[in-house]
Amino acid sequence: MSIEPITGCYLTITAGGARRRIYVEEAGQGRPVICLHTAGADSRQWRHLMNDTAITASNRLIAFDMPWHGKSLPPEGFETQEYLLTTEAYIETILAVIEGLGLDRPVLAGCSMGGRIALQLAALHPEKFSGFIAIEASDFQSAWYDIDWFHRPDAHGGEMGAALVSANISPFAPETERWNTLWMFMQSGPGVFRGDLSFYTRDDSLVARLPSIDTSRTPVHIIAGAYDLTCTPEDAERTAKAIPGATLAVMDELGHFPMSEHPEGFRPFFIEALDKMPSAAAAAA
């Protein structure tokens, strides 16, 4: 029997002009690190790192479920809405969560769409953060699939979504974690993965903003897995080159969900990334 050190709570914020009840988990103490999940999944992707005492000894890892995901309910009236995530709504939600939790310049670590929005925040709101870890993140890619596949009345979007994203998981990933990772996609609500992918595959507003990111104020470290078909190492390299001073690490044996699909393989890359970020004391100065 064991009890994990992860604790959870609900936070109510205002975003998009309406109340949003957000589920937040955290573990550790010290420098705050906001951890953003991928499209079509939730904060459970970060549970391995949140149970890693070597990391949580000096880092307060905080992961939350975006509205419509995990334990964060969709907004009132969702049944008549089409869920389509936008850059503006995503940024507003993240900033509201940080304010709601009273965090002072956290590090922002995001994966996939979380990595994309981390780079947007590095360009648009660097003063709110002390550094950015952008995992499986790039400037822009159009989809290599039809996102409408994932919201149809005649097929199970979760099963299709999971089967599709399995293409992004490395054959080196342990089978248990491969399937735990896919389970979150199988659980995704109707149209949610499609709505996230709309942001990820159609909003190219980041491209022109990349050169404006000032890594001397807030470092940017990009991490990419070789088995990621969606954000390839080439995509990540192109993006890193467009950000003066950004650093890049390529993981030869990992895919698009490294913290979830292969936590042991990802661990050293995440520790390296944290080491590149300012310490809590430096961030406060």
Partner 1 sequence: MNAREAQVIETFNQIQSALRETPHLLRLGRLFSETVLIETGGNEVYLTFEKGQLVSVAEGPSRKTPWRFALRTDAEALEEFWQARPAPGFHDIFGLVKIGRGRIDGDILSLVKNLRFFKEVMALGRKSEELAA
Closest CB 186 distance from partner 1, rounded Å: 10
CA-based nearest residue to 63, from 116, 127, 107, 124:
107
Pairwise CA distance, residues 68 & 75, whole Å: 8
- 193 counts as binding partner 1 under rule CB under 8 A: no
| Closest separation in Å from C-beta 198 to partner 1 | 18
- Say whether residue 171 binds partner 1 (CB under 8 A): yes
Q: Is 269 in the site for partner 1 (CB under 8 A)?
A: no
- Contact (Cβ atoms closer than 8 angstroms) between residue 15 and residue 72: no
Residues 6+ positions from 132 with CB-CB distance below 8 Å: 107, 108, 109, 118, 119, 121, 122, 218, 219, 220, 221
Task: Give min distance, CB of 42 to partner 1, in A.
Answer: 21
Q: Which is nearer to partner 1, 219 or 265 (CB)?
A: 265
- Burial per residue of 6-38, b for 16 or more beta-carbon CB atoms within 10 angstroms, e otherwise: beeeeeebebeeeebebbbbbbbeebbbbbbbb
Q: Which 198-257 positions form the footprint of partner 1 (CB under 8 A)?
A: 226-227, 229
Q: Which of 9, 163, 208, 284 binds partner 1 (CB under 8 A)?
A: 163
The span from the CA of 157 to the CA of 194, in Å, is: 9
Judged by CB under 8 A, the residue of 51, 86, 87, 166 near partner 1 is 166
Segment interacting with partner 1, rule: CB under 8 A, options 103-111, 128-136, 160-168, 271-279: 160-168
* Assigned token pair, 280: 């809590």
Please count the CA atoms within 13 angstroms of the CA of 89 that sit on its side-chain side.
18
In terms of CB distance, is 11 or 167 closer to partner 1?
167
Query: Which residues neighbour 146 within 8 Å (Cβ) at sequence distance 6 or greater?
Result: none
Stretch 132-151 residues interacting with partner 1 (CB under 8 A): 144-145, 149
Cβ proximity to partner 1, 121 vs 173, nearer residue: 173
Count of alpha carbons within 13 angstroms of residue 20, beta-carbon side: 27
User: How many other CB atoms are found less than 10 A from the CB of residue 264?
Assistant: 10
**Range in contact with partner 1 (rule: CB under 8 A) among 31-39, 44-52, 154-162, 194-202:** 154-162
Smallest distance from the beta carbon of 44 to partner 1, in angstroms? 20
DSSP of 174-215:
-HHHHHHHHHHHHHPPTTHHHHHHHHHHH--TTGGGGGG--T
Q: Which is nearer to partner 1, 249 or 283 (CB)?
A: 249
Closer residue to partner 1, CB minimum distance, 162 or 240: 162
Q: Does 167 bind partner 1 (CB under 8 A)?
A: yes
Of 143, 155, 207, 208, which lies in the binding site for partner 1, with binding defined by CB under 8 A?
A: 155
**Residues binding partner 1 (CB under 8 A):** 144-145, 149, 154-155, 159-160, 162-164, 166-167, 170-172, 226-227, 229
